[in-house]
A = this chain, B = another copy of it.
């Protein structure tokens, strides 16, 4: 996963295991706290429950919370099950709110009960509110640990607030300015605060052009805003523009990766799934794949009926069948190339539906170049390698030109049409394009053969 160069940062698991075996817990404790919590997590996840509990209990408070929040959910579950009530309470108290919500969403009911026992009523209300935000919305991504300042504070007062409350906040580098109704008025960076004089008022320094998202905005929209403006944190507001939370860039990097993964899955004809491949059950993996395969198989009936329709023609020149796989594959591949570029362009925002005419002409011209080169190579190949007659070679080569041009235009246009119809453009990828282009390319092929070879 990592370049070998990164070994140097990584935890020396052998050494830790040695200390663990020797029961030299003091050395283990001293050694482990030298490492980054992310690496400590990897180590603890590699241990059996008993050792994992032991090592976890050796960590200092800060590290233990960091380590816990980095763990995979099944590892969190096994620890929570084994924890004493006091330890569960510590975790509940110290965890960032967004991590706690994730925990509650993904844990078995028994664990959730154990966790909620340590929250008070107002906290449970807040948890319920957060659990109600739609999946993949800004509300479901946000956390409540932000620094809130008032516009009438001085720099000195602001720094005092940050000093006093900052340690528990997910970020102190961007502070948000609100009024007594919690309406978002502006933001100010810690950089601006520390580089100004103590008596300056926050309202004279804050930036009122604050870019924010709504609790019900989709996570893809949120990721777009992060990418466009290069922020590391974004405020989230409700319908009355009241500040309700913040989203940090590390969560957005996960969203970006997840959205790309979903596109890959859809484009390969699967229902998207957030879970990791190795963690998914065989049955679930099969279920995600079967729907599209069935749809595409049934659709291929149409292609089959074209074959049947030209049965007598094929019977007279069985040599024509030898080129069917090549023509079908080339058509499918040409169409997939175009649709992939357009789907990805639509996803990253480079291409919009208003560009359809530009895309059409671009694909048309690209297709002309590609198809002419392909068909020339193909003709030479049919003459030298396949050793067929010149008319057959010409039919095959000319079919390629029409197939490639058609495939590229269809591949270029269908994702844009899907987007226009508010469908996910990613469904218009290789598998579907191939099925459509198959039927068309065979029609072109047989009609060409019919006319040119007089069959």
Contacts and interface: CB of A to CB of B under 8 A. Distances in A.
Given A227-B257, A300-B329, A328-B328, A290 B342 contact: no
Interface stretch (A50-58, A88-96, A126-134, A430-438): A430-438
Contacts of A257: 227, 256, 348
Interface in A1-40: 1-3, 5-6, 9, 34-36, 38
Contact of A318 (B224, B315, B342): B315
A304 interface: yes
A208 B323 CA distance: 65
A86 interface: no
Interface stretch (A75-83, A98-106, A109-117, A332-340): A332-340
Interface string A172-186: 110000000000000
Contacts of A300: 325-326, 329-330
Contacts of A325: 300, 303-304, 307, 324, 328, 438, 442
B3 A333 contact: no
A448 interface: no
A318 B326 contact: no
Interface residues on A, range: 35 or more
A422 B214 CA distance: 45
Given A276-B345, A342-B277, A286 B369 contact: yes
A218 B292 contact: no
Contact of A374 (B159, B278, B290, B350): B290
A166 B190 contact: no
A163 to B, nearest CB: 5
B249 A340 contact: no
Contact of A5 (B166, B214, B286, B332): B214
19 contacts: A5-B221, A34-B208, A163-B195, A172-B191, A173-B190, A270-B341, A278-B351, A289-B334, A294-B373, A297-B330, A300-B330, A301-B326, A304-B386, A311-B322, A314-B318, A314-B321, A321-B324, A328-B329, A333-B431
Contacts of A314: 318, 321
A349 B257 CA distance: 11
A73 interface: no
A269 interface: yes
A385 interface: yes
A319 interface: yes
Contacts of A1: 224, 349, 352
Contacts of A159: 194
A239 to B, nearest CB: 11
A145 interface: no
Interface pairs A-B: 4 shortest CB-CB: A268-B340, A300-B326, A230-B250, A1-B349
Contacts of A378: 297
Interface string A422-455: 0000000011001100100010000000000000
A301 B381 contact: yes
Contacts of A434: 329, 332-333
A329 B277 contact: no
Contacts of A71: none
A45 interface: no
A354 to B, nearest CB: 10
Nearest to A326: B300
A421 interface: no
